[in-house]
Structure 1
């Protein structure tokens, strides 16, 4: 009897052990759980001519910015699947390889065609989903809606599936349907508790509906079972630190930073290392709390090694936070020169919002709050193009509101806060309102 994956798709291996290890490895990857790489390596060792574990392993390498290893594994998967693989497996390997190589438009086109033919290929369907997925980093202004609509189109193929509930629920939440999104995500979480992506997605829904205490309890109860090496361990604690800031508890936020986010402590993938660290420290300072300069300098030093060159707008914006906070105008100018050049050549899909944010952050750090607000005002509606989640991107709106308050433009600040409080409750926003009288 031919082997199949958990979704009933045939696998080109005759080895029971390789098929079993591949199924387990994919589930661990889709859950963001530890043991993924080791399990996929076991599948490879058992049947080296089984292409799918190679490309799945390449994707895990890519998560950790291990580009050379990822491309090598992708090349090996292409070679194998060309001589031993079904049409579905060839398309699967090619689509993932395009994503690994950073060929986003081609990867999105290949993904769309593949999902149309094989909607239950969850590994390929996972590519455009999530805050760091193909859609989020495509420069699209409507990637929240695109993710949600894609999930709606294929939902009938998944039934009661823990992974699909996780990702479709998160897509609903990010697209503004928070009540339904939380309900669907919690269904997925309850089906498989050893699922970091589900815990994360529930925290996003709780962030959006103002359930700060419930989110804090969830992390405290759930995180002990999740290894510190887990791909989302630090980021889930980052969410807890945001909750602490809602209560104005800077000491707790800094303690979380020291425990799991600081470069010397974190085991997160490079993109999370720079984005979680920079955004938390920036929020602390913008909200009026003292941040030791040594923390910024240490984090900046690590970030410069991880992302020395421009390329990914979401990373570039967070690198601008480091440059602004450390007053490193030369680093920011060098990064902006490349970004401006790409923009002029039409090679920056996210568009002019990227350099505008970077320059506004520098103005904020220089205490030129009026200039910061002036730069951000025209592009606030385009911030979504940099990717990431709404919770992550809210840092830009927070910076804008603080800049308005500090420059004396209280009317516009109140209008923005009123709109945000209408959308979701926020203790911090209420404190800001009270401070303005």
Structure 2
């Protein structure tokens, strides 16, 4: 039996343990292809149980359905080799099986159980981190790392990446000062740590430090762009700052250079960012032109997947703004069927929150702003259930404000903008609030 770089036993040969280390390093760094690395290893070493189950978990966390042949094949191979596996490796398979069955929370509980006994299990830590992000469990994003951080070697190669995860958890939990401090410490260790850069970018956006955020991300772009799987997302954060400052031409130039060429790669995170960026640009008064169509076409390949309500919301953004009536109809029918016949945590989230959000943004795109308000306003404080970050979910609040403005609901618009001004006091928000306040007085 071999051991990984954290000293944990791995069923399989030394080459398999080395492949696991390479896959973990790439996974944490948002580089390379961890799945391909592990697939090559299990092909040479079928007894490498953790390799099989990790492939399944990585594919699931990257957006494949539990019944996808690549997932079921990896699960089957893990099961076939389970006889020689350790209890830790058996629990990894159980977690992957749970996620494949739609039990996202159950899978996360298993990974946390592994971490109690093996706090330096890098796969369990990152799988739990990603799962909490998908579930919108902000405090758990922070606390999952805090529970194990003392067990990690500060001199180890992975420690900086763990700090980057902790920084993001701190930000999502509202501890902005500590988040920035920890995030910058992680960047000081490794300037190419895209997730740590991402954590600091969140802090700067939340604190409305747009000019500083633009300088920070532009100056560090050569480094964080090397984290290729996260590069579009960090570029999306740059776009948020630029949109807030009305610099739409820069946003679209970056979109055409960095985002559009990657759409065909079918990364769901890239598709999320593309749809959200264009939607927010247009809410702010920009014009995305004909850029919506390729985004919608790529998203429609996933219209029946229903892995996350968060993803389905972004499908709705794209197909509605592309003017794809057939695509909108397909989405509505598919989600209705999923709510009636589906199962699992995401189905319950979709029924409770996701469906109403999707109906709201579809109504907004159709110009029915009153209906958009009716669908979104009652559930706005439950939106966290669809997952993603505070910054990503802010799209819903911005859409609601725009719907109130366009529906002539000036009192509601004024109230929502006053609320926003208290937490995001940007010049654009201040101007919008003053316009709404003046309109309300004028109607009085």
Same fold (TM over 0.5): yes
Question: Cα distance 1:375–1:238, how it changes in 2: closer, same or farther (>3 A)?
Answer: same
Residue in 2 that maps onto 1:145: 139
Question: Which is richer in helix?
Answer: 2
What whole-Å deviation, never above 9, does each CA across 1:213-262 have from its counterpart, x for those lacking one? 33323332333245678211111111111121011011111112111222
What whole-Å deviation, never above 9, does each CA across 1:10-30 have from its counterpart, x for those lacking one? 223442x44333223212211
Inter-partner Cα distance in structure 2 for 1:278 and 1:247: 20
Inter-partner Cα distance in structure 2 for 1:13 and 1:305: 37
The partner residue of 1:250 within 215, 238, 248 is: 248
Uncovered stretches (5+) of structure 2, i.e. residues with no partner: 439-444
Residue in 2 that maps onto 1:154: 148
Alignment of 1:360-399 (within 5 A): 360-399=360-399
Matched, 1:349 2:348: yes
**Which stretch of the first structure deviates more once superposed, 243-252 or 109-118?**
109-118
Inter-partner Cα distance in structure 1 for 2:70 and 2:358: 32
**Which stretch of the first structure deviates more once superposed, 220-229 or 199-208?**
220-229
The partner residue of 1:34 within 32, 37, 42 is: 32
Matched, 1:275 2:276: no
Contact 1:173 1:181 in 2 (8 A): yes
Residue in 1 that maps onto 2:79: 78
- TM-score of the two chains, using structure 1 as the length reference: 0.87
Inter-partner Cα distance in structure 1 for 2:18 and 2:52: 15
Count of aligned pairs between the two proteins: 426
1:159 to partner: Cα distance: 5.8
Q: Give the secondary structure class of the aligned counterpart of 1:126.
A: helix
Inter-partner Cα distance in structure 2 for 1:404 and 1:3: 61
Contact 1:189 1:198 in 2 (8 A): yes
Inter-partner Cα distance in structure 2 for 1:252 and 1:245: 9
What whole-Å deviation, never above 9, does each CA across 1:184-203 have from its counterpart, x for those lacking one? 22222322333222222221
Contact 1:228 1:267 in 2 (8 A): no
Matched, 1:407 2:407: yes
Q: Give the secondary structure class of the aligned counterpart of 1:317.
A: helix
What whole-Å deviation, never above 9, does each CA across 1:267-291 have from its counterpart, x for those lacking one? 7653223311111111122212122
1:363 to partner: Cα distance: 2.1
Contact 1:96 1:124 in 2 (8 A): no
Contact 2:2 2:11 in 1 (8 A): yes
- TM-score of the two chains, using structure 2 as the length reference: 0.86
Inter-partner Cα distance in structure 2 for 1:267 and 1:228: 19
Question: Cα distance 1:401–1:422, how it changes in 2: closer, same or farther (>3 A)?
Answer: same
Q: Give the secondary structure class of the aligned counterpart of 2:191.
A: coil
Contact 2:99 2:107 in 1 (8 A): yes
Q: Give the secondary structure class of the aligned counterpart of 2:348.
A: coil
Inter-partner Cα distance in structure 1 for 2:342 and 2:174: 31
Residue in 1 that maps onto 2:442: none
Uncovered stretches (5+) of structure 1, i.e. residues with no partner: none
1:79 to partner: Cα distance: 2.4
Inter-partner Cα distance in structure 1 for 2:207 and 2:187: 18
The partner residue of 1:303 within 282, 299, 302 is: 299
